[in-house]
Every structure is written in C-alpha cells, then in structure tokens.
C-alpha cells in the first residue's frame, strides 16, 4: 500500500466528484468542451454502427433478445427491445468492438464507456432527456473517468503492472447514467461506489492473452452502471471510500509512488481535463499502434516507396506501448482479430503495404497473409523509457534494400486534440464505418445523425438518436 493518507469514507474525493456531476449545469460548460463532446459522441456512434456487426457483437445482441424482459430500451442497430441493463450490455460491446473509439492521453478509453449506457436509459428516465442534459451528463461522467485514471497515472503503468487505465470506465458510466436518471449527489456517489465494488482493476490478461474481453468488458460496465443507479434508487448502499478509504480505496492498492490524488479535485468544475488530450482514432487498432502507423504511412506515401523494397523498419515507442510488441512471440505472430488489433508489427506491416489500417485488414485471411507476415519480420521495435508521451511522437525509420533510409516522427496523430478531427473528418469516418453494420442504415439516417450531433444542444428528446440508430 504505497499511498498512506487514508480518510474517513465521507471525506473521500469521490464525494467531490459526485457533487460535480450533480451540480454542473450546461451553462457551466465552455463552448470548446461542448464542441468536443458533440464530436466525441458522433465518433462513438460511428464506431458503434460498425461494431454492431463485428465479431461477437451479433451473438451478444441475440443473447440479450433471448433473455427478454420489459421492453424499456433499444439494442442499437439490431432493434431489439429489452430491459435497460440488457440494452447497455449489448450496446457496450458494440461501442468497443472495432477498437476505434476515443482515447485520452491520461484517462484511457472514455466515450465508449458512458454513451452506450446513457442511450440505454433514455426510455426509463422520468422525462425526455434533452441534448443539453445529455451533453452535461456525458461531460461530467467522462471527467470522472479521466480524473480517476490521471490521478493514479494508470496509462503509464498499465503495461508493467498489469492494470490498464480501464477500471475507471465503470465509474464514468455510472456517473453519467445516474445524472441522466436524476439522482442527487449522494446517490451518484453511492452508484459510483457500487460500480467500483463490482469491477476490479487487475484485468490486463484480457489483452495479453488476446481475448475478446477488451470489448465485452464494456458490456459488463454498462450493465453495472444502469443497475447501480436503479439499485441506489431502491436503497441499496455501497462503499464511499473509493479512492482513499480503508482498507480498499484504490490509492492504497497501486504499486508505484507517483500518484497524484490532487488531480481528482483540483479546479473541479472549472478545468475540464477531458478536453486536454482526447484523441479520436483514424485506425481500427490499439491507440499505442497509431503513431507507428501514421509515420509509416507518411514515409511510404511521402517518398513514393514500394513496400517490396523495404529491408527493415526500426521503431521506437513508449514504455506503455510495449503491450503492442511484447511478448515478441505473440506480437510477431498474431492469429486472431484481437491479437492483430494489438500487434504493432502487424499494423506497421499493413500500413507499409496498404497505406493505412482499417477493418478489412482484420479479416483472418489478411492476418495470415504471407506477404504481410514477411514484412512483419522486417519490423524491429524498442521502448524508450524516457519517452514522456505514452501515445504520441514515436520514431519510425525505414531502410530500403538499396541503402536509402527515411525517418519520420508524427508529433500528434490525426484525431488528437492538438490535431483534431473536424466534422467533415467524422462524417467520413461514419461513411467508412457504415458498411460494416449488422443491419444497413439508410444514408438519410446517417446524414441526420451527423446533423443531430452538430446541433445536439437544440435536441429536445435524445430518443431521436435511437430512431436514427436503428433501421
């Protein structure tokens, strides 16, 4: 237990976070944060559409339909009407399925956690949820998730200590859902405590073993978020000492010293950490591969190179990026979709050959393609422990068989808050995602979805999104 300043449960920083969620009003949000939120929501809806038909998503949608129950909520794209927790279960996996949702540089995954669950409770709210109410619930819950991860410095240590910055996702989802359902600050705190109790931290094996739980975990988080809010309404109590409580506050169970608990409450409600480093993904793979991909594409296309002339590719990444190139035996020999998504050698080789990386590159025949595997063997990657930015600015050097060498560093990949995707970029991402939907959506609905997100503050009832997200 490295962090030795326990507090009484009623003084835990989680209480201040819960009050921020309950007390913030739409008028308190800066215009730039609102615009970012609207774009992040559209981005997540786009990847959810593609994720609806990807891998295990259809099976999970069918499973919750088979379970049945009160028709409170909609399973997106598929259209099943099921209880709200079950809709959140199905919608959660779809949002994370293609691993193309946003990632925060200190907060890890964000919008894939709360938006699917928020959409799943619109039908059980006491009144229609306006776009402004939805945006406020989104931003405040997302801020909880980002601050929880940043305070523990989880993005930096998730590879070496096996605790990804994703235990905080259920807190993010629970906070946003509780706000949507009108819970007060004390009730929001209780719901967050319930989510914390249910979801542990040490789940890195979902990545290291190449499993589908990186995506299905979002199902369980959404389900828990909805149940935590509803059970809180019924009087079920949960722990309050989420961060500094004795004996099990999370700050008492991390194995490193450089935690920053002050980030949980510093300038809370004034400074929005969510807006400081949120990235929207251009490639359907782990964010730690994106800087490698972008620089490989920049060299190949900028110099007009032929991948057949490559002798070797040397890359330098961050310490956290090691999860995409260690252990070498697995990362240089991916044999499934999850393994390929988290393989830097595979994504780099694919980028060199195709000029990008998208869902078609995750079909098993592409993963096992002999030409791609041959290029993978020419990829060499090391980690620089002093590289400060865990996601951005990785070096790529390509040497050709004739001896020529080309080096490139992409400071910020397209989609980062310092190199953001604009509305046109997101509309194009939606266009690319749409063909992968489990059920085809008419182009008219896709166009309306973009328009709705751009003017979300004017929407009177966010159930309009559900209409646009089902055929």
The CA-atom distances, in angstroms, between 303 and each of 92, 314, 398, 414 are 41, 17, 11, 20
Largest Cα span, the chain: 72
217 in a domain, yes or no?
yes
Task: Give the phi and the psi of residue 111 in degrees, each rounded to 5.
Answer: -70, -25
436 in a domain, yes or no?
no
441 in a domain, yes or no?
no
Which pLDDT does position 206 carry in this prediction? 74
- Residue 191 and residue 125: Cα distance in Å, rounded? 16
Q: Are 46 and 469 in contact (CB under 8 A)?
A: no
Q: Are residues 255 and 322 in the same domain?
A: no
Number of structural domains found in the chain: 2
β-partners of residue 81 are 74
- pTM reported for the whole predicted model: 0.95
Q: Are residues 224 and 79 in the same domain?
A: yes
Residue reference for tokens 């050097």: 397
Residue 155 tokens, joined: 């993005």
Q: Are residues 37 and 149 in the same domain?
A: yes
419 in a domain, yes or no?
no
154 in a domain, yes or no?
yes
Q: Are residues 133 and 193 in the same domain?
A: yes
Q: Are residues 16 and 123 in the same domain?
A: yes
Residue 400: give its domain's CATH number. Answer: 3.30.1330.120
- Residue 293 and residue 315: Cα distance in Å, rounded? 10
**CA angle, corner 176, sides to 85 and 207, nearest 5?**
70
Q: Are residues 108 and 14 in the same domain?
A: yes
Residue that is last in its domain, among 409, 426, 460: 409
Which pLDDT does position 162 carry in this prediction? 53
Q: Are residues 248 and 209 in the same domain?
A: yes
Residue 17: give its domain's CATH number. Answer: 1.10.4100.10
For 14, the 3-state DSSP assignment is helix
Q: Are residues 194 and 60 in the same domain?
A: yes
Q: Are residues 323 and 402 in the same domain?
A: yes
DSSP summary character for residue 398: E
pLDDT tens sequence for the chain (471 residues): 444 556 677 889 999 999 999 999 999 999 999 999 999 999 999 999 999 999 999 999 999 999 999 999 999 999 999 999 999 999 999 999 999 999 999 888 999 999 999 999 999 999 999 999 999 999 999 999 999 989 888 776 665 555 544 678 999 999 999 999 999 999 999 999 999 988 865 566 777 787 888 888 899 999 999 999 999 999 999 999 999 888 878 887 776 778 888 999 999 999 999 999 999 999 999 999 999 999 999 999 999 999 999 999 999 999 989 999 999 999 999 999 999 999 999 999 999 999 999 999 999 999 999 999 999 999 999 999 999 888 999 999 999 999 999 999 999 999 999 999 999 999 999 999 999 999 999 999 999 999 999 999 999 999 999 999 998
**CA angle, corner 257, sides to 256 and 259, nearest 5?**
95
Residue that is last in its domain, among 361, 381, 409: 409
> Is the peptide bond prior to 43 cis by the omega test (within 30 degrees of 0)?
no
- Residue 142 and residue 338: Cα distance in Å, rounded? 26
Q: Are residues 292 and 275 in the same domain?
A: no
Q: Are residues 236 and 371 in the same domain?
A: no
443 in a domain, yes or no?
no
For 3, the 3-state DSSP assignment is coil
Q: Are 39 and 421 in contact (CB under 8 A)?
A: yes
Q: Are residues 314 and 185 in the same domain?
A: no
The CA-atom distances, in angstroms, between 386 and each of 11, 18, 163 are 36, 36, 20
Residue reference for tokens 């326990």: 6
Domain holding 352, by residue range, is 287-409
Q: Are 47 and 100 in contact (CB under 8 A)?
A: yes
């Amino acid at each position: 237990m490295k962090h030795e300043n326990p507090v009484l449960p009623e003084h835990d920083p989680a209480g201040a976070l819960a009050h921020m969620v309950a007390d913030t009003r739409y008028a308190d949000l800066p215009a730039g944060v609102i615009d970012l939120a609207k774009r992040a929501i559209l981005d997540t809806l786009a990847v959810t559409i593609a994720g609806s038909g990807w891998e295990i998503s259809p099976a999970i949608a069918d499973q919750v339909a088979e379970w049945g129950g009160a028709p409170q909520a909609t399973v997106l794209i598929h259209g099943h009407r099921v209880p709200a927790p079950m809709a959140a279960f199905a919608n959660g996996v779809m949002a994370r399925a293609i691993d193309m949702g946003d990632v925060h540089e200190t907060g890890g995954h964000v919008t894939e956690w709360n938006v699917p669950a928020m959409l799943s409770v619109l039908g059980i709210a006491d009144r229609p949820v306006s776009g402004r109410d939805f945006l406020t619930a989104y931003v405040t819950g997302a801020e909880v998730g980002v601050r929880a991860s940043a305070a523990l410095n989880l993005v930096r240590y998730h590879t070496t200590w096996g605790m990804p910055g994703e235990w905080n996702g259920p807190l993010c989802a629970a906070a946003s859902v509780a706000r949507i359902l009108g819970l007060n600050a004390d009730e929001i705190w209780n719901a967050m405590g319930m989510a914390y109790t249910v979801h542990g931290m040490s789940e890195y094996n979902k990545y290291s073993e190449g499993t589908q739980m990186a995506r299905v975990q979002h199902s369980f988080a959404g389900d828990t978020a909805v149940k935590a809010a509803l059970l809180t309404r019924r009087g079920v109590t949960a722990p309050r000492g989420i961060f500094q409580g004795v004996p099990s506050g999370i700050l008492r169970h991390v194995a490193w010293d450089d935690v920053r608990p002050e980030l949980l409450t510093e300038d809370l409600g004034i400074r929005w950490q969510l807006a400081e480093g949120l990235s929207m993904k251009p490639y359907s793979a782990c964010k730690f591969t994106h800087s490698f991909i972008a620089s490989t594409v920049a060299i190949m296309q900028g110099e007009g190179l032929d991948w057949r002339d490559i002798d070797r590719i040397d890359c330098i990444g961050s310490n956290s990026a090691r999860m995409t190139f260690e252990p070498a035996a697995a990362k240089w020999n991916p044999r499934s979709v999850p393994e390929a998504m988290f393989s830097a050698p595979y994504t780099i080789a694919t980028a060199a050959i195709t000029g990008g990386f998208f869902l078609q590159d995750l079909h098993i025949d592409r993963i096992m393609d002999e030409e791609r595997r041959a290029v993978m063997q020419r990829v060499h990657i090391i980690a620089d422990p002093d590289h400060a930015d865990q996601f951005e600015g990785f070096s790529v050097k390509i040497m050709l068989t004739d001896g020529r060498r080309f080096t490139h560093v992409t400071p910020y990949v397209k989609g980062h808050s310092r190199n953001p995707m604009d509305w046109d970029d997101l509309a194009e991402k939606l266009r690319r995602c749409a063909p992968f939907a489990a059920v085809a959506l008419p182009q008219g609905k896709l166009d309306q979805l973009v328009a709705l997100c751009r003017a979300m503050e004017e929407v009177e009832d966010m159930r309009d999104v559900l209409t646009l997200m089902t055929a």
